[in-house]
Amino acid sequence: MTLEGRVWKYGDNIDTDAIIPARYLNTSSEAELAAHCMEDWDTSFVANVQPGDIVVAGKNFGCGSSREHAPVALKASGIACVVAETFARIFYRNALNIGLPILECPEAAQATLAGHTLEIDLSAGRIRNVDTGQTYQSTPYPEFMLALIEAGGLVEYTRRKLAEDHG
């Protein structure tokens, strides 16, 4: 699985209220969540985000609430991957569970700037900054996690596995 996208760069402790404020949680509509993603922090995000873009952030990305709406809002906005120095634990599970690839890589997160283009090989855990030529190594996902992401998340992956087992 290889991705290439333009970078949105954010700092440390981007919380779930920043990603999607609770006042918009009265909908499960992915399009509506995407329409308000990041709006309290970066009003240019919704207007300019393109499918395939990548979010790069500092430490503890996604801290706060257990709302799965946060990774859903990013994914529905077109974000293909989040690279951060570290992730908050609930966000980490939620992102993978909804099929949004995320990579922990402090070196890449620190050196990447807004507007750079990253090329990411998820299977290898390799991140290449197209603008600087630098390559970074994150821990590669195990096979099942790649299959889970590819399936679109935990629930879809489980459904497929159950179908295989019973098929």
The binding site for another protein (CB under 8 A) comprises: 13, 15, 17-18, 21-23, 25-28, 39-41, 59-60, 63-69, 86, 88-90, 93-94, 97-98, 153-156, 158-159, 162
Residue 86 or 129 with smaller CB distance to another protein? 86
Q: Would you give the DSSP letter of residue 140?
A: P
Residue 14 or 118 with smaller CB distance to another protein? 14
Write down the least CB distance from residue 155 to another protein, Å.
Answer: 4
Strands 102-104 and 81-84: parallel
Write down the least CB distance from residue 129 to another protein, Å.
Answer: 25
By CB atoms closer than 10 A (0-12, 13-18, 19+), residue 19 is buried
Write down the least CB distance from residue 95 to another protein, Å.
Answer: 9
Between CA 135 and CA 17 the distance in angstroms is 32
Write down the least CB distance from residue 2 to another protein, Å.
Answer: 26
Residue 44 or 159 with smaller CB distance to another protein? 159
First vs last C-alpha separation in the chain: 27
Residue type, 134: Q
Write down the least CB distance from residue 48 to another protein, Å.
Answer: 19
Token output for 123: 């299977």
Residue 4 or 154 with smaller CB distance to another protein? 154
Residue 21 or 140 with smaller CB distance to another protein? 21
- Within 10 angstroms of residue 18's Cβ, the number of other Cβ atoms is 20
Q: Is the distance from CB of 86 to CB of 96 less than 8 angstroms? A: no
Strands 117-121 and 2-9: antiparallel
